[in-house]
Structure 1
Amino acid sequence: MDAFDAIPDPVVIDILNKVGDVKTLIRCRSVSKRFNSLATQSDSLLLQLDQILGTTTTTDSDSEIDSPISNFFRSLFKSIHGLLPPIFSKSVNPDQILTRSPKTPAQILSRFERIRNLEVELYGGDVKLEKGAAVKWKAEFGETLKSCVIVAYRSATVNTTASSAVDGGVTGVESDSEFVCGLKTRVVWTISALMAASTRHYLMKDLVKDHKEMEKLTVIDREGEGTVVMNAAGMKEYRETAAREIEKGVERVRERTVVPSVRMSMRHAPSLKLKSGICLEAATLVIVRPTGVVSDDDDVELATEAFAGDGGECMYGEAVTALLKRRRNVLEMNSF
């Protein structure tokens, strides 16, 4: 007897959960009937997508699969596969799995029935900025936007006299015209981040509807620009709203979730020196909530939690800590 067959199913599933990568798990399904049934029971998954085309991104392994030798063996397998008894012919066809994936996350994961924690990785970021500028954001959604924390800057330089740099030190004084011009730029950054977040949220709509046991959904990108998070309560809220719309016969054709009217708590520094020796020009922190949230008292908690993974050791974590000490400007924006 094969020793692997003696391993209990729950142990095998736990091993597959450690693998996580959806493309690898789909390939595992072609190994045997047992793998075909167990791979789809994994509950912690990582799905890597090509953001533009909606298909899984090409890797070195893909190019190997499409080589002439691989094509020959795949053709041979298909010929033999047609001669197998029906009990075996129902197994997964690697030709379909490895060459062309469905275009939506919901289709790719349609056979995974026990997803609890899912991380979706997009090919790249969405926000288009001028050269040298950068933005990083984290948004939480339910039916619609619940909160969004944005950190951005126009440029970053390294101070050669880092040892004398003051932690969170602010230099330079803005004139009125510079403030107005900078405000326009900061609002554009904010709108761009919110549009990117709402697009990612809408991309996951069918996935959220189909997998009702899911407890956490995280959508990130390889560049580390933005993160969309939905917890179990947020996904339940989203499903209930979608169900009500279907009952009322409301059909909405759009490319992203509508951003509600929001209240923006904005802090900025014309030039911000960090203890690491990095100097950020036009450093900005924006905390966005739907209009109706009366208190902004939890700004510190919300911003710190959003960039908790950066600790205070990363540039963004440092910038958040420093900018939270700056004066707050409150703006409101209509739904869009």
Structure 2
Amino acid sequence: MELPVSDVGTDDGVLLRWKAVFGSTLQSCVILGGTRVDRAAAPAAAAATATAAGDNEATQGDDTGSIPESFYTNGGLKLRVVWTISSLIAGATRHYLLREIVKEHPTLEQVALTDAHGQGTLSMGRDQIREFRDKPLAAAAAANRTQVPACNMKLRYAPMLELSDGTRIQGATLVVIKPVGEAGGIGGGRKELDEFVADAFDGPYREAVSALSKRRTYLLEMNGF
């Protein structure tokens, strides 16, 4: 199923992609973002690398995976929080909309709800749909969406990510989210979560996730909303 428009508004040139798995509530979510994407005119032979060249955020930090101090003071972290919350709200809203569809189609075993712009995907497999049917849905107060539980987040960042086709992503960011208390998310362990993250996106964005996954990890927590 495909929605006609994306849920999260972004400025021109900004990269934002997300994929979330829900059962009766959020199980896992992965977000890939960048403040600017420069498309390559011709393919390059080099593998994906993170460098500190370029402008804007790409002039900050080093190539060790450390986030520069300016990231916290110039609005960089705030922007990533906005991306994260907006993507989770988008996923929770789509999840809420699926109530009647799942109810009216008892033989349904898999759902992938995307949008025409390819920004986000809500995914539910057989186990998630069974849980969705069996457990009561917790709706957010005064909002037509599912409540998002308290979550742990792993953030990885590269000032500049250059992919093998020459595409450059400035301020490249990978956020992996799972509810507090869940060992691995998506109803499984660490291996299942790692596989979900690695396979979340196609093409150059799959390569971007692989490169960012090797960067230093920063842990964040978020209350439910």
Is this a same-fold pair by TM over 0.5? yes
User: Can you list the C-alpha shifts for 1:40-96, whole angstroms capped at 9, x where unaligned?
Assistant: xxxxxxxxxxxxxxxxxxxxxxxxxxxxxxxxxxxxxxxxxxxxxxxxxxxxxxxxx
Are 2:11 and 1:143 aligned?
A: no
Once the 2 structures are TM-superposed, how far is the Cα of residue 159 of structure 1 from its aligned partner?
5.5
Once the 2 structures are TM-superposed, how far is the Cα of residue 173 of structure 1 from its aligned partner?
3.7
Once the 2 structures are TM-superposed, how far is the Cα of residue 318 of structure 1 from its aligned partner?
1.4
Structure 2 unaligned spans of 5+: 53-58, 62-67
1:268-287 to structure 2, matched below 5 A, reads 268-287=157-176
Q: 1:317 aligns with which of 186, 203, 206?
A: 206
Are 2:57 and 1:176 aligned?
A: no
Report which structure shows greater RCO (CA 8 Å, sep ≥6): 2
Q: How many residues align?
A: 207
User: Can you list the C-alpha shifts for 1:163-211, whole angstroms capped at 9, x where unaligned?
Assistant: 4755223224434123442111111111111011111111111111222
TM-score with structure 2 length normalisation?
0.83
1:60-79 to structure 2, matched below 5 A, reads none
Aligned residue in 2 for 1:134: 15
Q: 2:81 aligns with which of 187, 197, 210?
A: 187
Does the C-alpha gap of structure 1 residues 277 and 179 become closer, same or farther in structure 2, counting only changes over 3 Å?
farther
Write the distance in 2 (CA, Å) between the matches of 1:192 and 1:330. 19
Are 2:123 and 1:229 aligned?
A: yes
Write the distance in 2 (CA, Å) between the matches of 1:334 and 1:265. 15
Are 2:223 and 1:329 aligned?
A: no
Write the distance in 2 (CA, Å) between the matches of 1:168 and 1:139. 26
Larger helix share, 1 or 2: 1
Q: Structure 2: which amino acid aligns with 1:178?
A: F
Q: Structure 1: which amino acid aligns with 2:23?
A: G
Aligned residue in 1 for 2:156: 267
Q: Structure 2: which amino acid aligns with 1:132?
A: G
User: Can you list the C-alpha shifts for 1:242-290, whole angstroms capped at 9, x where unaligned?
Assistant: 39x9xxxx9x763111111111111111111111111111101111101
Q: Structure 2: which amino acid aligns with 1:288?
A: I
Counterpart contact for 1:133–1:154, Cα < 8 Å: yes
Once the 2 structures are TM-superposed, how far is the Cα of residue 161 of structure 1 from its aligned partner?
8.8
Larger strand share, 1 or 2: 2
Q: Which has the larger radius of gyration?
A: 1
Counterpart contact for 1:220–1:228, Cα < 8 Å: yes
Does the C-alpha gap of structure 1 residues 325 and 206 become closer, same or farther in structure 2, counting only changes over 3 Å?
same
Write the distance in 2 (CA, Å) between the matches of 1:166 and 1:236. 41
Are 2:96 and 1:202 aligned?
A: yes
- What SS class does the counterpart of residue 215 from structure 1 fall into? coil
Deviant stretches of 4+, over 3 Å: 158-166, 294-300
1:280-299 to structure 2, matched below 5 A, reads 280-294=169-183, 297-298=190-191
Once the 2 structures are TM-superposed, how far is the Cα of residue 240 of structure 1 from its aligned partner?
1.9
Q: Structure 2: which amino acid aligns with 1:140?
A: V
> CA-atom RMSD, angstroms?
2.5
User: Can you list the C-alpha shifts for 1:266-318, whole angstroms capped at 9, x where unaligned?
Assistant: 111111111111111110111110111246844532211222xx1xxx22111
Q: Structure 1: which amino acid aligns with 2:125?
A: N
Does the C-alpha gap of structure 1 residues 218 and 159 become closer, same or farther in structure 2, counting only changes over 3 Å?
closer
Q: 1:300 aligns with which of 186, 194, 197?
A: 194
Write the distance in 2 (CA, Å) between the matches of 1:170 and 1:317. 18
> Alignment identity in percent?
39
Structure 1 unaligned spans of 5+: 1-119
